[in-house]
Amino acid sequence: MNGLLYLCVVGIWGTTWFAIALQQGEVPLLVSIFWRFALAGSLLLVMSRWRLGKNHLSWRDHGFCFLQGLCAFSLNFFCFYLAAAHITTGIESVIFSMAILFNAINQALFYRTTPVKRFWPAAALGIIGIAILFSDQWGAKQFSTSLGLGIALSLLGTYGFSLGNMLSIRHQRRGLAILTTNSWAMCYGAAVAGAGAYLLGYSFVLPAQPLYLGALGYLALFGSVIGFGAYYLLVGRIGAGQAAYATVLFPLVALAISTRFEGYQWHLHAVVGLGVILLGNFIMFFPLHKIKKSRLRSLFASVTIEGKRSDLP
C-alpha cells in the first residue's frame, strides 16, 4: 500500500510544477491559488460528508486547520508561484526535496523527537548539493538577484509545507480524519488567498484559455485532492520524515518535463549537484548499515519495511 501511495505522489507532484508554470501570466498569483484550493477544498468537503457523514471538528481543531491552510495551502504556494518567475520549475522541485530535512528539524522542535545521527551528513550533503547545482552562478558577475530570490522563495515555501506536515501529524494523533482536516485546511487557505486578492483589488474572473483552465483543473483535482490526500496518508502511516522521501523522487520527473518544455539545460555541475542532494536525502531515509541484502529486492518493499521501524524520525 505504501508503495502505491508513493507512486501516486511522485507521479502527480512531479508534473504539477510545470502546471504551475502554465499559470504564469495575466492572472494574479493569489487569484490562481484561490481558485485552485477553493475548488479542491469544496470537492473534498463534499467527499468528506458523503463518506464520513457529519464529522465535526472543535473550534480548536478548526484553528489548527486554519494554520495548516496558511502554511500548506496558501502562503507557501504564493512563494512557489512567485519563484516560478525566477527559476525553472524543475529546479524548484529539487529545492523542494529539502522538505525531508525540514521535517526532521520540525519534528524535533514540535514533537521532541531527536534527529537520527544520519540527519547531519544528510543535511550537509543537501546544502553542498544546492551549492554545486548553482556553482556556475555564484560569482559576483554571474549571480543575479532574480536567481537568489527564486532560491529563497522556494526554500521558504518548502519550510511552510513542512510546517503543514507537522499540523497534519497533530490532526492524525487526535484521531481526526485526513479527508476532513484537508478539506477545511484547503478552504481556509483559499480564503486567505482570496482575501489578499480582494484587498489588492484583483478580479476573480478567469481567462477563457484552455491551457490555463486545464492547468487549474489538474492542480485542483490531481495536485491537491489526490496528491495531498495520498501524501498525508503516508504521513499518518509511516511518519513525516519517511513520507517526505517522495520529494526525493519527483524532482526527477519534474526535471525531465522542465528539460522538454522549459529548455532546462543539463551541465556537469547540475548532474553532480542533483546527485549529491539525492544522495543526502537517500541517506536520511535509509539506514544503510541496517538494511539487509534481502530487503533490497524492491525499493517500495524496503519503503514499507523501513517505514515501520521505531528508530526512524
**Cell digits of residue 95:** 529545492
What's the length of the chain?
313
| Cα of 159 vs its chain's centroid, Å | 9
**Cell digits of residue 159:** 519550510
pTM: 0.77
Q: Write down the pLDDT at residue 138.
A: 54
Burial of residue 11, with CB atoms counted within 10 A of its CB: 0-12 exposed, 13-18 middle, 19 or more buried = middle
What is the per-residue pLDDT across 251-301, written as a single tens digit (0 to 9) for each?
Answer: 778 878 888 877 777 788 878 888 887 787 677 666 544 444 444 344 344
Q: How far apart are the C-alpha atoms of 11 and 101, rounded to whole Å?
A: 21
49 sits in which H/E element: helix 29-52
What is the per-residue pLDDT across 119-134, written as a single tens digit (0 to 9) for each?
Answer: 778 778 877 887 787 7
Residue 152 has pLDDT above 90, yes or no: yes
Q: How far apart are the C-alpha atoms of 175 and 197, rounded to whole Å?
A: 34
**Which residue is associated with the grid cell 518535463?**
257
Q: How far apart are the C-alpha atoms of 102 and 49, rounded to whole Å?
A: 33
Q: Write down the pLDDT at residue 140.
A: 46
The percentage of residues in the chain with a pLDDT greater than 70, rounded to a whole number, is 82
Amino acid residing at 2:
N
Q: Write down the pLDDT at residue 300.
A: 40
Please provide the average confidence, as pLDDT, over all residues in the chain. 81
Q: Write down the pLDDT at residue 11.
A: 87
Domain map (residue ranges) of the chain = 2-306
**Cell digits of residue 252:** 526527477
Cβ proximity of 180 and 55 under 8 Å = yes
Of the listed ranges 2-11, 24-33, 215-224, the one predicted with least confidence: 2-11
Cβ proximity of 206 and 93 under 8 Å = no
Q: Which residues are CB-contacts of 225 (< 8 A; sequence separation ≥ 6)?
A: 40, 43, 44, 47
Q: Write down the pLDDT at residue 52.
A: 64
Q: Which residues are CB-contacts of 155 (< 8 A; sequence separation ≥ 6)?
A: 95, 98
Q: How far apart are the C-alpha atoms of 272 and 114, rounded to whole Å?
A: 30
Q: How far apart are the C-alpha atoms of 92 and 83, rounded to whole Å?
A: 8
Of the listed ranges 75-89, 206-220, 242-256, 292-306, the one predicted with least confidence: 292-306
